[in-house]
Structure 1
Amino acid sequence: MAARFPDELTCDMAETYHALDWRALGLPLAATLAAGLRENSRTRMALAGSVSTVDTLLLGAAVDALHLLVWAKTKDGQKGRSRPEPVVNRLLGVPSPRQATGFSCAADYETARARILGEGWRQAAGGLPSSAAAAAPSPEGEGLGGRLKGER
């Protein structure tokens, strides 16, 4: 704890126990005091890899639920548009999925599509690579399902 997060431990010891030089306390007492730090102390949160306290995350979840209820009553909510961004995602540092992406050519689109969908869907669809699958006509003719317009 002291080796990995010395600044956090120093700050927590000063705040909680008013011990500005916790190293002068001796190892047994310093270890006992460090073990007694609150769950939301800087040191314990750093050890757990937490970026927000549980209380803050619960408050964010409550705000998200309220935003969702209010949004559902709007015209956008009834049509499923402009859903509010979750506050909890911002607290956790999750990147926003709402990033518009444009493509300058079909190859860029196919590359992004393959990355998003993965390669497994191509084998299930017949094993053609994306460029060959897009360019290859069906064996039965043109159109959807290999049927021409007007045929049954």
Structure 2
Amino acid sequence: MIRLDEDALICDLAETYNILDYKKLALNELAIFACGLRDDSRIKLKMSENILSPNQLLLAGIQDRLSLLVYSKTKDAEKGINYPKLILDNMENKINGFTSGEDFMKERERIMKEGKNAN
């Protein structure tokens, strides 16, 4: 965990156990605390190569199904037009994380332009 992302581990230990300096712990204590972190902790998400927690994925799936249910009752659905954009499809294709605030702002601007063009 330390080699993968020491900062994420430090944040998780501080948030969960109020451990601010893990180097003062015995190795076996550190291992116990690290294993006890929630599955949606920063370091465990990074270890599993997931960006979103299982709960976030579930909520996105619920939103997608609700959107499809509502859409199915519209005149657009009868004509097969204006199919709703699904959150999970968008996430699977586009979420890679950002390496800087500038990258985030560029992606945000691109998404905002897409939204304006869709209306």
TM-score by length of 1: 0.59
Instruction: Pick the structure with more helix per residue.
Output: 2
Q: Give the letter aligned to residue 23 of structure 1.
A: K
- Give the length in aligned residue pairs: 95
* Cα distance in 2, alignment partners of residues 3 and 35 from structure 1: 15
Report the Cα distance in structure 2 between the residues aligned to 1:63 and 1:85, rounded to whole angstroms: 11
Corresponding residue number in structure 2 for 1:26: 26
Whichever residue aligns with residue 75 of structure 2, its letter is K
Which amino acid counterpart does residue 64 of structure 2 have in structure 1?
D
Amino acid of the structure 2 residue aligned with 1:77: A
Whichever of the two has the greater Rg, that structure is 1
Q: Which letter maps to 2:84?
A: P
Aligned counterparts of 2:56 and 2:88: Cα–Cα separation in 1: 9
Measured after TM superposition, the shift of residue 75 of structure 1 is 1.2
> How far did residue 23 of structure 1 move?
1.2
CA distance in 2: counterparts of 1:33 and 1:55, whole angstroms:
22
Q: Stretches of 4+ moved more than 6 A in 1?
A: none
- In the alignment, what sits opposite 2:35? 35
- Write the mapping of 1:81-96 to structure 2, written as runs, cut at 5 A: 81-90=81-90, 92-95=91-94
Which residue of structure 2 aligns with residue 78 of structure 1? 78
CA RMSD of aligned residues (A): 1.5
Unaligned runs of 5+ in 1: 100-152
Q: Which residue of 2 aligns with 1:55?
A: 55
Task: Supply the distance in 2 between the matched residues of 1:93 and 1:2 (Cα, whole angstroms).
Answer: 27
Matches of residues 1-150 of structure 1 in structure 2 within 5 Å? 1-90=1-90, 92-95=91-94
Q: How far has the Cα of 1:5 moved from its partner?
A: 1.0
The percentage of counterpart residues that share the same residue type is: 37
Q: Which runs of 5+ in 2 are unaligned?
A: 95-113, 115-119
The one-letter amino acid of 1:51's match is I
CA shift digits 1:36-71 (9 cap, x unpaired): 111111110000001111111111111111100111
**Residue type matched to 2:8 in 1?**
E
- Determine which structure has greater relative contact order: mean sequence separation of CA pairs < 8 Å that are 6+ residues apart, divided by chain length: 2
Per-residue CA shift, 1:72-106, capped at 9, x if unaligned? 1111111111110111233x3514xxx9xxxxxxx
CA distance in 2 between partners of 1:72 and 1:89 (Å):
18
